[in-house]
Structure 1
Amino acid sequence: MLHTLLSINKATVRYLNTTLFTGLTFKINKGENWALIGESGSGKSALLQTIAGRFNITGGEIIYHFWDKFSSLIPADKVTNPHKLIALVEPRHHFRNLSNTTDFYYQQRYNSSDSEDALTVTDYLNAIKQIPGNKNSWTLERVTKLLRLDELLDKQIIKLSNGETKRLMIAAALLKNPVLLMLDNPLTGLDVKTREEFNGIIQQIAASGINIIMATSIHEIPTVITNVAVLSKGAIVHQSKKEDFKPELFEQDKTDTIDNGELSALLNIDKNPATYNLIVKMDKVHIQYGDKPVLDDINWQINPAERWALLGPNGAGKSTLLSLINGDNPQAYANNIILFDKKRGTGESIWDIKKKIGFVSPELHQYFPTDNSCLQVIESGYYDTLGLFRPSNKERAEIALRWMKALEIEKYARVLLKNIPASAQRLCLLARALIKNPALLIFDEPCQGMDDHQQLHFKNLVDTICSLSNVTLIYVTHYQHEIPNSVDKVLRLEKGRVAF
């Protein structure tokens, strides 16, 4: 007989003034591990947050059946409600600094004095309040080994790469010894090796008695998953055992169209684009923090209209390398670096550099303020500010809306950035990078969290932009299939050095 851990019965779920689910019914039995599948905005993340107690249940009910057992075994001062026995790993982290605030900023990781206000990995994990577990409870030693954090223990969390941060967040969730572990797109940002290891990681977690629910791609369902739920437009439209699940019935349409005429018009709004002989030239670049080299002996020349893939595992130094180009890393002044025909340190400001670059990255997404409307976020790209801090310009707002249509997100124009799906947030930041028609586009893992159609459309959009313009491109990804066809040059990093 199955033992039910949690059940949702005909629930109406609301967040602010929005109804997320109506008549939601879902049940998890002990020993079941669920994969949630669906297009962007279908409700996968909302379902996880509903279970975690983040949203209001205004009709129906959600029952945490496991609470009856655990509440009698655990002292009341240890756990006060069932949500404490649930761990949710989200796409965005909520790290606090030594001052116990979340006032991190994007460039902080590259400024040695400011980054000292961040906890180390060891400090962060030691601060996790553990829930008393069973004999197989997760300890610091055990999570460190499972998630390969040994070499990161003394590293400040603000300096972790995107993939390293994801591994740390999973470790922190395990330390709580939850009854239910929920993972929202856990594979995004992880390199090939870690993704290959993830199947074994998730198996060990399940073997310890923790039940798992994960929002994931239809193409990345771990073997430990026992059940699949498909969501569409805020409703669960299919539930089955994994062995009975037929993914071909739920794959998205592979057709896609790009309005070349409109895209050409958008790319030609600036009638007098600047021309350069060199976009980037690095000569024996070396970056070091304390006694640890991050980049060593990097030589790289990027000529106008070249399209590069920048590849390498988590922690290889890719983000640090990009920070030297984007003007965010002060150590650029101590190196021999030419950007847009000018040697760094010869009088150009950070803003002179940024106005020539369209940039998006997971870290920028993490620290971008979310209280602007999506249209304001995109218009802010003209000014290279993290949000619009001046009255909107009607002409520029109209261009921002045209870019939103090109990226198929115009329905979010008047909606606050924080109130739209994470994938749509990323697309807004991509439109922000494109809007000023920069000489250089830097796309660092731009497709994280996007569904199949969004990835295909964006890839086609990039290829079309490259065919219609002389833009230079640097593209970073851990997925080979995401690399645009227009990319024909590769720089690969391994432990801070160029790998040949």
Structure 2
Amino acid sequence: MHTAILSVKHITVGNLEQTIFKNLSFQINQGEQWALVGESGSGKSALLQTIAGKFNITGGEIRHHYFDDFIQQHPVDDAYFTHHKLIAFVSSKHSFRNLSNTTDFYYQQRFNSSDSEDAPTVENYLAGIHPTVHTRQVWSYEQTIEQLNLGALLNKQLIKLSNGETKRLLIAAALLKHPTLLLLDNPFTGLDVQTRAAFNNILRQIAASGIHIVLATSPHEIPDTITHVAVLHQGEIINSLPKAAFSIDMVKVVPPPPIDADELASLLSLTTALPFTDIVKMSDVTIKYGDKTILDKVNWLVKQGDHWALLGHNGAGKSTLLSLINGDNPQAYANNIILFDRKRGTGESIWDIKSKIGFVSPELHQYFPTDNSCLQVIESGFYDTLGLFRPSQPQKAAIALRWMKLLELEQYSRKHLKNVPASAQRLILLARALVKNPPLLIFDEPCQGLDTHQQQHFKHVVDAICALGNTTLIYVTHYQHEIPDSVNQVLKLEKGRVVS
């Protein structure tokens, strides 16, 4: 048996005519569990994808020693049985498909009852996961359901899962494949405090079961079971060491620049501020899907200029509550809801509502088309469409580019959204929400996947916007340190009910 389970030697890796790694070396030994850390765009996710075989290696080599050892112990008479069968990769995005298996999910499907019926349940999805290795039964179906706390979700449709629930499901599906090597791309993003603590324990059990873990994560969230840390910077591993010797200051953090207050004020002045009294007024709002109550008699008043934090555990009802405000949930018509001083169902269109809102969420990022350039994606914010479906207007494109510069994104202006790092994609969608300077900003976990520099810079921009005008803000996060200083009111949900 080899001492190393994986060795990467002097590899050059390219994707879409871009060199991602050059002369990169990395090794994982028996019993080691690795965390990859570094600033956004440093190459963490790309290294996971390289190990998983998703990128082209044009120089050097990767040796999958764990596969050689497996074949020696369990000879397989199958030419198609390769090392890929022993790897499970959980990316930051899912690839769920409808029951018809003809189309992917789309953004508003979870709120439309007739269309959401075409989505598999958690139980359906897991039933379709078949172990690629039958000789090592590490995680049974029952054990996996129990440890990932999925029992209560088995009859829930995939499209209706919260961000954190989806993450647990994807990890369960990976374990049911009985991998030797488990690759996790930012597994803690979207998880509430309790779920993060429980997941830390699950990772310990995964490692104890003989599965080797390599995960990309924030340097502030390195699980207990991790034994070694690799620090990446601009496509290079600049440090590789035992976790006990790692310190957070090994990850390069550039302090954010001062906000260009004059430029921000100029951008905000391009739109005439509309006066409202009640931005949101909900009275005993209740949302049910079948026998399941998602929101239970919610009362909430948001006045113009208010700055709210919306908090709660995974599955508490936050996304459903926001969908009622953003015009995505048709059950709004069956409830007593006033938006922008007008009762829902009195003749306003969804587009009337969306024109007054700048919105971003993990689900929007999941389903947003990626074939437009980043500049076009931001310009689409003027029209509230998922992409630019009309000729670009030079004046609007110029405004979009100014927002890109303010958010340190101008280098991505001509690149397609799919070809930039996930953190940049999220910032592009945040710029899209800001570009028309709407009276209401709804930011649902906006800092997911952003590094410390990006988080600090974005928070400063949000605080400056709130200070310069009468913008109303609703901000959702599972991390206290991400909440902007301008937030001064809190609504907390617990199992669909307001608890504070």
TM-score (norm 2): 0.98
2:96–2:104 CA contact under 8 A, matched in 1:
no
Partner of 2:93: 92
User: 1:249, CA displacement in angstroms?
Assistant: 3.2
| Residue 285 (1) aligns with residue 290 (2) | no
Q: Matched residues in 2 for 1:148 and 1:266: separation?
A: 47
For 2:406, the aligned partner's letter is A
Q: Matched residues in 1 for 2:77 and 2:475: separation?
A: 51
2:307–2:473 CA contact under 8 A, matched in 1:
yes
| Residue 367 (1) aligns with residue 371 (2) | no
User: 1:76, CA displacement in angstroms?
Assistant: 4.1
Q: Matched residues in 1 for 2:165 and 2:257: separation?
A: 34
For 1:19, the aligned partner's letter is T
Partner of 1:170: 171
Partner of 1:386: 386
Per the alignment, do residues 364 and 78 of structure 1 end up closer, same or farther by CA in structure 2, a change over 3 Å counting? farther
SS in 2 for 1:429: helix
Per the alignment, do residues 150 and 467 of structure 1 end up closer, same or farther by CA in structure 2, a change over 3 Å counting? same
What is the 5 A alignment of 1:71-110? 71-72=71-72, 73=74, 75-77=76-78, 80-110=81-111
Partner of 1:196: 197
User: 1:360, CA displacement in angstroms?
Assistant: 0.2
User: 1:69, CA displacement in angstroms?
Assistant: 2.5
1:359–1:442 CA contact under 8 A, matched in 2:
yes
Q: Matched residues in 2 for 1:488 and 1:336: separation?
A: 26
For 1:281, the aligned partner's letter is K
User: 1:472, CA displacement in angstroms?
Assistant: 0.3
**Deviation readout 1:340-381 (Å, 9 max, x if unpaired):** 111100000000000000000000000000000000000000
Give aligned-pair identity as a percent.
66
Partner of 2:265: 264
1:35–1:229 CA contact under 8 A, matched in 2:
yes
1:94–1:102 CA contact under 8 A, matched in 2:
no
| Residue 159 (1) aligns with residue 160 (2) | yes
2:13–2:21 CA contact under 8 A, matched in 1:
yes
User: 1:199, CA displacement in angstroms?
Assistant: 1.6
SS in 2 for 1:178: coil
1:79–1:131 CA contact under 8 A, matched in 2:
no
What is the 5 A alignment of 1:130-169? 130-132=131-133, 137-169=138-170
Q: Matched residues in 2 for 1:65 and 1:275: separation?
A: 65
Q: Matched residues in 1 for 2:75 and 2:363: separation?
A: 38
**Deviation readout 1:101-148 (Å, 9 max, x if unpaired):** 342111100111100111100111110121335665112111111111
What is the 5 A alignment of 1:305-316? 305-316=305-316
Q: Matched residues in 2 for 1:208 and 1:268: separation?
A: 59
Q: Matched residues in 1 for 2:138 and 2:14: separation?
A: 35
Q: Matched residues in 2 for 1:128 and 1:182: separation?
A: 17
Partner of 1:217: 218
1:10–1:60 CA contact under 8 A, matched in 2:
yes
**Deviation readout 1:181-221 (Å, 9 max, x if unpaired):** 01111000000101111221110000000000010111111
Q: Matched residues in 1 for 2:133 and 2:252: separation?
A: 42
Partner of 1:45: 45
SS in 2 for 1:148: coil
SS in 2 for 1:279: strand
Structure 2: tracts of 5 or more residues without a match? none
Per the alignment, do residues 372 and 216 of structure 1 end up closer, same or farther by CA in structure 2, a change over 3 Å counting? same
User: 1:474, CA displacement in angstroms?
Assistant: 0.3
User: 1:250, CA displacement in angstroms?
Assistant: 2.5
| Residue 356 (1) aligns with residue 356 (2) | yes
User: 1:247, CA displacement in angstroms?
Assistant: 2.4
User: 1:252, CA displacement in angstroms?
Assistant: 1.5
Q: Matched residues in 1 for 2:454 and 2:192: separation?
A: 21
Count residues with an aligned counterpart.
499
**Deviation readout 1:281-322 (Å, 9 max, x if unpaired):** 001001100111111100101000000000000000000000
Q: Matched residues in 2 for 1:159 and 1:178: separation?
A: 28
Partner of 2:117: 116
SS in 1 for 2:278: coil
2:181–2:212 CA contact under 8 A, matched in 1:
yes
Per the alignment, do residues 354 and 76 of structure 1 end up closer, same or farther by CA in structure 2, a change over 3 Å counting? farther
TM-score (norm 1): 0.98
Partner of 2:21: 21
Q: Matched residues in 2 for 1:247 and 1:316: separation?
A: 32
| Residue 481 (1) aligns with residue 485 (2) | no
Partner of 1:419: 419
**Deviation readout 1:15-55 (Å, 9 max, x if unpaired):** 12111111011111111100101000000000000000001
